[in-house]
Amino acid sequence: MLALRGAHSLAGRHYDVLATWQDYAGDVRGRALPCDHYVPEEQPEQTADALSAFFAGA
């Protein structure tokens, strides 16, 4: 599972998002991007790069 989040969002500042999702999925990867809540709209290139790498198996 790929979990992208905004570093400046509520979840990005106050929760360990990857640890939370590990209760529901075995392979959890992701990171915080330098934005607020609307990750794809605020960081489209970084979102696309993360998705491409994830689906390529990197």
Q: What is the pTM of this model?
A: 0.83
- What are the extents of the domains in the chain? 2-55
Q: What is the pLDDT of residue 35?
A: 95
Which amino acid belongs to residue 2? L
Does 12 score more than 80 pLDDT? Answer: no
**pLDDT value, residue 58:** 64
Helix/strand/coil (H/E/C) assignment for every residue in 16-49: CHHHHHCCCCCCCEEEEECCCCCHHHHCHHHHHH
Other C-beta atoms closer than 10 Å to the C-beta of 1 total 13
pLDDT tens digit string along 23-38? 899 899 999 999 999 9
